[in-house]
């Protein structure tokens, strides 16, 4: 039953009509647990509160349904405004973004033009931009774009690798030539067993494998997980191999495992929280529900609260 619920939520996450309908309700029916408001101002406030707790952030202006050049340019403008707001407010945060929101499905050239505008601003401020990895259909072209931009912008740009894909370990090996800053995740999209491990145990095993390999290569690892077993394994592994805390960080999602976030920060680890904001929050929110269908009950209760 839980798997059926998860599959349904993932299907709905890509449904345009449901996305449009959800926006009419706004964040009030539960999404504000996972999304830091619809404006840059609300996002900066959320980051400032995290910074007070010794936690850093990465801001993401949500947007996945982009159908025109104008929308893609507008989305890139928001990314630049986000970098401006980070710089002006002096909060400790970098930026995450998706290639599709910058027009990748319209044309690669459009997407690259937008990325260069964003990276120019990030480089000016001495900030960092992470390219999020999306579904498998966008995987290879996103890898190609990252390599091209890494050659142009160096350490200003980073990428995400998803452990549920069979190709993840080979990608870690391939990208080692760039000594990249990678966010390592399990993966949140519904994929075919032809390209992704169907069993959770295999994903978990591969996740540990790519974390260890990337760290042993001497590269910076952003370990994105709420799994305490993985966190404890990493703590033990870095001590055994004399890997400094400055070579990795833990990452979690806004609104999830808040006490654990605070605990890790107090223990002296770099703890970064992924803080999404914006009015195009629907797809992101549905994927968070799919990861833990029990949250659906929380949302239903929220809808009926006055």
Q: Annotated catalytic sites, by residue?
A: 132, 183
The CA-CA-CA angle for residues 263, 265, 271, to 5°, reads 115
Quote the crossing angle between the two packed helices 69-89 and 40-52, to the nearest 10°: 40
User: Could you tell me the sign of the dihedral formed by the alpha carbons of 94, 246, 150, 100, in that order?
Assistant: negative
- Distance CA(45)–CA(74), nearest Å, equals 23
- Distance CA(182)–CA(161), nearest Å, equals 7
CB neighbour list of residue 218: distance below 8 Å, 6 or more residues apart: 179, 247
Beta carbons of 229 and 201 less than 8 angstroms apart? no
User: Could you tell me the sign of the dihedral formed by the alpha carbons of 76, 254, 142, 282, in that order?
Assistant: negative
The CA-CA-CA angle for residues 40, 52, 126, to 5°, reads 60
CB neighbour list of residue 4: distance below 8 Å, 6 or more residues apart: none
Left (φ > 0), alpha (ψ -120 to 50) or beta: where does 176 sit? alpha
User: Could you tell me the sign of the dihedral formed by the alpha carbons of 268, 164, 151, 116, in that order?
Assistant: negative
The DSSP string of 215-282 is HHTT--EEEE---HHHHHHHHHHHHHTT--GGGEEEEEETTSSHHHHHHHHHTT--EEEEEEESS--H
């Amino acid at each position: 039953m839980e798997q059926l619920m998860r599959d349904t939520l993932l299907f709905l996450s890509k449904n345009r009509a449901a996305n449009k309908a959800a926006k009419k309700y706004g964040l009030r029916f539960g999404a504000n647990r996972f999304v830091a408001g619809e404006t840059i101002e609300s996002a900066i406030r959320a980051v400032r509160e995290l910074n007070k707790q010794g936690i850093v952030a990465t801001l993401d202006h949500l947007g996945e349904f982009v159908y025109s050049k104008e929308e893609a340019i507008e989305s890139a403008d928001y990314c630049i405004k986000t970098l401006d707001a980070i710089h002006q407010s002096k909060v400790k945060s970098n930026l995450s973004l998706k290639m599709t929101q910058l027009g990748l499905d319209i044309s690669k050239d459009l997407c690259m033009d937008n990325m260069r505008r964003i990276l120019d601003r990030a480089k000016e401020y001495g900030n960092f931009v992470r390219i999020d990895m999306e579904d498998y259909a966008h995987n290879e072209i996103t890898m190609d774009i990252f390599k091209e931009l890494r050659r142009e912008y160096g350490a200003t740009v980073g990428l995400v690798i998803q452990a549920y894909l069979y190709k993840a370990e080979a990608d870690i090996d391939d990208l080692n030539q760039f000594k990249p800053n990678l966010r390592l995740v399990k993966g949140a999209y519904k994929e075919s067993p032809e390209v992704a491990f169907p069993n959770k145990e295999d994903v978990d095993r591969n996740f540990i494998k790519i974390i260890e390999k990337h760290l042993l290569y001497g590269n910076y690892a952003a370990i994105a997980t709420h799994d305490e077993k993985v966190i404890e394994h990493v703590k033990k592994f870095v001590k055994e191999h004399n890997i400094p805390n400055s070579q990795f960080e833990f990452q979690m999602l806004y609104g999830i495992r808040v006490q654990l976030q605070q605990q890790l920060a107090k223990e002296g680890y770099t703890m970064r929280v992924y803080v999404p904001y914006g009015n195009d929050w629907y797809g992101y929110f549905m994927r968070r529900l799919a990861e833990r269908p029990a949250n659906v009950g929380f949302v239903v209760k929220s809808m009926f609260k006055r």
